[in-house]
Amino acid sequence: MEMMPELEAAGEERARLMPFGETLITGTKDQTDGPLKNHRLVTYYGHPNSTNMGILGQMEPDAFMAKLKTQAQAYSNADPFHPAVPTIELIATAAQRDPGSDGNYVRMTSPEQIDKYAKLAEENDALLMLDVQLGKDSVLNQVKSLEKWLKLPYVHLAIDTEFHVGERETPGIDLGQVNGTEIQQAVSYLTKLVEDNNLPDKIVLVHQFTDVALTNKEVIQPTSHVEVALNFDGWGGAAAKMTNYKEYVRNEAVQYGGFKVFYDKDEPVMSPEEVLQLDPAPAVVNYQ
């Protein structure tokens, strides 16, 4: 069947106006009403007690939020078809080299600090993404510990795979990994949380900077209430980062792609326009 001339012209006009590609990976579907369906998340990552773990800990909250909004607006300007939503990516459980009293090598960020950044997000029409670093604990246990905040309509989940270590291993010394079955348990848990509490649909962002950090990826399946984005998390030269994004995100597709930019480690720091040239265009761009 031939396309009607007016529809063909409309498609050509959209292609002309939208210089960057769609964010949904070819061959996948999004059955949710989640944020990634029509928007892009621009996140600032870190911990309030550390200047070394990301930009979040390097600035006072008001200045941090102003800078985050400016960075998000740059993506909206570059791609107005996917307006960018400023997102606070807060490390909610931080891996430690000390086993701690429970032997899990992880410390939870204080509830008061999580509340502080939840309020900051709400007051600024932003999202909050709670990041778990796992240590020797399970993904599901860490997610359950954050249920109070995950019940808030603007709070989502990120998983740092490299800090999940096994017996006789230490986070930050030994490279950890997460099996995709644990990611899927978190997806299923959040799906039920959405259904049971009549919440807006959620996002699970999975950080990965090397192939061994995330195994059994093929079992990870988005649901009708949870979107999933795989986030390439490495730093360095732009060419190498683009190659790894292709390998870990596009070629091992789940649903959406994410891409991390390091202000202090990348050479050069890619511009929004350069980031959006990736295939697929990242639905989540996080800054550290």
pLDDT of residue 251: 84
Of 43, 46, 32, which is closest to residue 203 (Cα–Cα)?
32
pLDDT of residue 165: 63
What is the C-alpha to C-alpha distance for residues 44 and 25, in angstroms, rounded to an integer? 23
pLDDT of residue 273: 95
pLDDT of residue 227: 98
pLDDT of residue 4: 47
Q: Is the pLDDT of residue 14 over 50?
A: no
What is the C-alpha to C-alpha distance for residues 249 and 280, in angstroms, rounded to an integer? 9
pLDDT of residue 153: 98
Least reliable range by pLDDT among 94-98, 131-135, 246-250: 94-98
Query: 219-256 pLDDT, tens per residue?
Result: 999 999 999 999 998 788 888 888 988 988 888 879 99
Is the bond preceding residue 268 a cis peptide, omega within 30 degrees?
yes
Q: Is the pLDDT of residue 20 over 80?
A: no
Of 212, 287, 279, which is closest to residue 250 (Cα–Cα)?
279
DSSP string for residues in the chain = -PPPHHHHHHHHHHHHH--S--SBPTT----S--GGGT-EEEEEEE-TT-SSS-GGGGS-HHHHHHHHHHHHHHHHHH-TTS-EEEEEEEEEEEE-SS-TTTTSSEEEPPHHHHHHHHHHHHHTT-EEEEEE--BTS-HHHHHHHTHHHHTSTTEEEEEEGGGB--TT--BTTB---EEHHHHHHHHHHHHHHHHHHTPPPEEEEEEESSGGGEE-GGG----SSEEEEEEE---SBHHHHHHHHIIIIITT-SSEEEEEE-TTT-BSPPPHHHHTTSSSPPSEEEE-
Q: Is the pLDDT of residue 267 over 90?
A: no
Query: 174-203 pLDDT, tens per residue?
Result: 677 789 999 999 999 999 999 999 999 999
- Is the pTM higher than 0.85? The answer reads yes
What is the C-alpha to C-alpha distance for residues 232 and 271, in angstroms, rounded to an integer? 16
Q: Mean pLDDT of all residues in the chain?
A: 89
Q: What pairs with residue 128 in β-bridges? A: 88, 155
The structural domains of the chain, ordered by start, are 29-287 (3.20.20)
pLDDT of residue 202: 98
100 and 94 Cβ atoms separated by less than 8 Å: no
The residue assigned the tokens 């510990």 is 145
